[in-house]
Amino acid sequence: MKIALAQINYHIGNFEKNISSIIQAIGTAKNQHCDLVVFAELSVCGYPPRDFLEFSDFLDKCNAGINQIALECNGVAAIVGFPSINPDEKGKNLYNSAAFLCNGKIASLHHKSLLPNYDVFDEYRYFEPSKNSTIIDFKGCKIALTICEDLWNIGEEQLYPYAPMDDLVSQHPDLMINIAASPFNYEQAQCRKEILTKNVEKYNIPLIYVNHVGAQTELIFDGGSLAINANGKLNTELNYFKEDFKTVEFIDLKQSSYKISDEKKIDKIDLIHNALVLGIKDYFGKLGFSKAILGLSGGIDSALTLVLAKEALGNENVKAILMPSRFSSQHSIDDAIQLAENLNISFEIIPIDPIYESYETTLSPYFKGLAFDVTEENLQARIRAVLLMAFTNKFGYVLLNTSNKSEAAVGYGTLYGDMCGGLSVLGDLYKTEVYELAHFINKDEEIIPKNSIVKPPSAELRPNQKDIDSLPDYAVLDKILFQYIEQRKAPRELISQGFDEEIVKKILKLVNTNEYKRHQTPPILRVSPKAFGMGRRMPIVGKYLS
């Protein structure tokens, strides 16, 4: 049996585009004399559709789409994900389903059993879990069809009381097929391979896995669809971060000695780089925007954001605005200009002192006798934000936010100032990871000026300001933040790891008391296992550790 894996970049609610892409891939499969072509989870509507699933018109379009696709399935069968109606009056209204399409019709429906309801997932909000698992009998091959999470309840830590494959294996399948929408984080690709291989080793059945690729606001899908033969060896692996289409012969999957030689390299910083570029590209493309703007300070965060934006959108679609103040150093201005010239990016220099002085004059009767403090620092940041937003309105740019995860975690940023924007590019990268990615960018040549990387980080909002005046060294800060945010370690556990007790208490208090700021920031491209945003839900007014 010849099976095609179709890895497609879907667009949520863009039925015309999604259906057209699926039908085109079915045509390709026919031309290559395939027996079956496999698509990803909820491919008709895109993932995650979220509360679009509460609209009957949206569901009608999903149903019409799957029936339109079915008509194309003559001479080749297909497996396509879509939300189907639960006919039972009890339970949720929908199933997360996979349709087996054959001979121009929906031959059978197979529903997802295990519905993730953690981190970025909220499937139990919409779907009823399936309680029955059935085999597809196609051309003498018995196929155990599952959907994403259905294969993840394996190993030592199991979130669910049973595994759907335990039911399916009793029906003596020859092949497992899993269709998925598995969001990217820098650990996910390796973790996913390990989970899928465990299933093959447990059930001694070959596996075909098809994943989404492309970005949907915060979530980035890395693709990496694959086939594993019966003894757990990788047979074929599709590209990461791009659409792909490959075929496998069922007989190849049974050849225990066969292993491909081009298994994709999994390197954390390389993955993060590719994910962020795709995240920017799809955010703009799927919203119908093309041009980005950002404030370029000469520091490492804005420098890195500019490089990534240029890679995603092209230098002709990116603009930088330099907005020096009386506190800006000349080397920061020079570094910003050098970077813009290195990238051939259009830039403007708009000094903010005249505007800042007008604010001082206006506020002086009310601030009379009060010393310069964070108020005046924030005024500068908000002036810059107003100027940047003026360009977005006048010329149709989208403002890219340049704050990193370390700053967002402890509230080291100005609300409605440097925290504003349409998309946060670095908001899931700790400062130390920003440095790693900057070095990765410069691995072959100096694109980001060396001075932007090696100089002590500073907001330059007051004389001789340095980040370490307010925060611990980032090498220490980021380790504490990682252990608290990603690993959910308690203060006593952090202290037992050797961190200073006073610093731990201070940092954790800053994280929790600045939740209100993070609720008002732009969507953050998710690259870690625990990002700020939809996957980390904390109360704003909570007292715990604050």
Q: Tell me the catalytic residues.
A: 41, 112, 148
Which residue type occupies 493?
A: E
Residue listed under structure tokens 């291989």: 197
Q: Measured between alpha carbons, how far is 371 from 424 in angstroms, rounded to an integer?
A: 33
Q: Tally Cβ neighbours within 10 Å of residue 12.
A: 16
Contact between residue 199 and residue 154 where contact means Cβ atoms under 8 Å apart? yes
To which H or E segment does residue 193 belong?
A: helix 188-203
Contact between residue 399 and residue 291 where contact means Cβ atoms under 8 Å apart? no
> Nearest to residue 5, comparing CAs of 217, 242, 177, 202?
177
- Using H for helix, E for strand and C for coil, what is the string for 244-311? EEEEEEHHHHCCCCCCCCCCCCCCHHHHHHHHHHHHHHHHHHHHCCCCEEEECCCCHHHHHHHHHHHH
Q: Measured between alpha carbons, how far is 181 from 225 in angstroms, rounded to an integer?
A: 11
Tell me the HSE value of 171 on the side-chain side, using a 13 A CA sphere: 19
Burial group, residue 323, by CB count within 10 angstroms (0-12, 13-18, 19+) = buried
Contact between residue 433 and residue 408 where contact means Cβ atoms under 8 Å apart? no
Number of residues that this document lists for the chain: 546
To which H or E segment does residue 210 belong?
A: strand 207-210
Q: Measured between alpha carbons, how far is 133 from 123 in angstroms, rounded to an integer?
A: 19
Q: Measured between alpha carbons, how far is 491 from 500 in angstroms, rounded to an integer?
A: 10
Packed helices 501-513 and 474-485: angle between N→C axes, nearest 10 degrees: 60
Contact between residue 320 and residue 336 where contact means Cβ atoms under 8 Å apart? yes
Residue listed under structure tokens 């799957």: 66
Contact between residue 120 and residue 85 where contact means Cβ atoms under 8 Å apart? no
Nearest-10 Cα torsion for 266, 267, 270, 275: 50
> Nearest to residue 93, comparing CAs of 121, 120, 53?
53
121 SS3 class: coil
